[in-house]
Structure 1
Amino acid sequence: MTSVADSIQSMKAKFNPSAAAGLDLVFGFKIDDNTHYSLIVKDGTCDVKEGENPDAQVTLVMDSETLKGIVSGETDGMQAFMSGKLRAEGDMMLAMKLSELFPA
C-alpha cells in the first residue's frame, strides 16, 4: 500500500456515519497529478475506490504531503485551500462537508 492509499484509508477510518445519513455523494481525490481515489458516501456508509470516478461531484487536487497533513490533522484544509496547496474542482460547497463527515 502506498502512503497515499494509507492516508485515504486513515480518512475512511475517521468516517462519521451519522453525519452521512441520507447523503449520496462522491468525493474525488487527485493526488500528485496521477493518483486518483474516490470516497463514495451513501446513506451512512463510506466506500473507497481507486481510480478516477466520473460521478465525483467535487474533486480535491493536492500533493501527497498536503493530503497526509490534512488527514493527520497537522494541516488545516481551509488554510491549505487558501494558500493554494489544495484546489477543488466541482461543487466547492461539498468540500466543506468533508470536515463533518471525516472529523479529526
Structure 2
Amino acid sequence: MTLETITEQFTKTAARVPALGKSVKFVFEQGPVHIDLTHEQAVVTNEDKDANCVITTKIETLDAIRRGDMNAMMAVMSGKV
C-alpha cells in the first residue's frame, strides 16, 4: 500500500465523520497524513502540520490492524505504533 492509497482511504472515511474539533496526524516512513476534523467537512492532506494526536507507525502495520491481522493493543505494546 502506498501513501497515496492510504490518503485516499482516509479521505473517504473522514468524509463520513462529524466535526470533532480535533486533528490527527499519522506519520509514516513515506510521509504524513494529516486529518483535520475541526471544520464541518474533514480535510485530509499530506502536509506535516501540528495535530492534537500524532501516531507514528508503518503503513504495513496500520493495514494489518485494519484487516484484523494484527491486534491494535499488541501493536502499541510492541512498539509498532
Same fold, TM-score > 0.5, yes or no: yes
Q: TM-score, normalised by structure 1?
A: 0.61
Question: Where in structure 1 are there 5+ consecutive unaligned residues?
Answer: 87-104
Aligned match for 1:42, one of 24, 38, 45: 38
Summarize the Cα distance change of 1:75–1:44 in structure 2 as closer, same or farther, 3 Å threshold: farther
Q: 1:31-63: CA deviations, max 9, x gaps? A: 01x511201113553221112112x01110011
- Which has the larger share of helix? 1
Q: Deviations over 1:71-104 (max 9, x none)?
A: 4443333221122100xxxxxxxxxxxxxxxxxx
- After TM superposition, list the pairs within 5 Å mapping 1:1-104 onto structure 2: 3-15=2-14, 16-17=16-17, 20-21=18-19, 23-32=20-29, 35-42=31-38, 45-54=41-50, 56-86=51-81
Report the count of equivalent residues. 80
* Structure 1 residues 26 and 35, CA gap change in structure 2 (3 angstroms): same
Deviation at 1:13, TM superposition (A): 2.3
SS of match in other structure, 1:38: strand
| TM superposition shift of 1:10 | 1.5
Q: Please identify which structure carries the higher strand content.
A: 1
Task: Give me the whole-angstrom Cα distance separating, in 1, the residues matched to 2:44 and 2:38.
Answer: 12
Q: Percent identity?
A: 20
Gaps of 5+ in 2: none
TM-score if structure 2 supplies the norm length? 0.74
